[in-house]
Amino acid sequence: GNSVTQMEGPVTLSEEAFLTINCTYTATGYPSLFWYVQYPGEGLQLLLKATKADDKGSNKGFEATYRKETTSFHLEKGSVQVSDSAVYFCALSGRNSGNTPLVFGKGTRLSVIA
């Protein structure tokens, strides 16, 4: 079945540091890939998405590229801020099968210190 594996946290960075959170997936067909962010005490917010190979999703300085050859969708940001502290979830949806439930990784907690 479909699955997502993302790097274990927590990740602690100083403000303005470079961020990478690794995400790899296993899926049949051609899934859509997502990064969601969860701030303390809140639900999930869509951060970015990519629907086909080599697509790059971007939002708020975050980027991720859909790499079919390595089945990866790593999240990057060039300069993190304290306000980026949150839990980040990588997810996929096997849309080509007509079934849209999201499959999530376990999440990576990011703490940015000033």
Based on the shown chain and the rule CB under 8 A, indicate whether residue 43 belongs to the binding site for other proteins. Answer: yes
* CA 9/CA 3 separation, integer angstroms: 18
Both tokens assigned to 104: 């999530």
Of residues 80-109, which lie at the interface with other proteins (CB under 8 A)? 89, 91, 93, 95, 99-107
Nearer to other proteins, 41 or 69 (CB): 41
Based on the shown chain and the rule CB under 8 A, indicate whether residue 26 belongs to the binding site for other proteins. Answer: no
Residues in contact with 26: Cβ distance below 8 Å, sequence separation at least 6, in sequence order: 2, 3, 4, 5, 71
Based on the shown chain and the rule CB under 8 A, indicate whether residue 34 belongs to the binding site for other proteins. Answer: yes
Based on the shown chain and the rule CB under 8 A, indicate whether residue 8 belongs to the binding site for other proteins. Answer: no
Least CB distance to other proteins at residue 18 (A): 24
- Contact indicator for 31, 2 with CB cutoff of 8 Å: yes
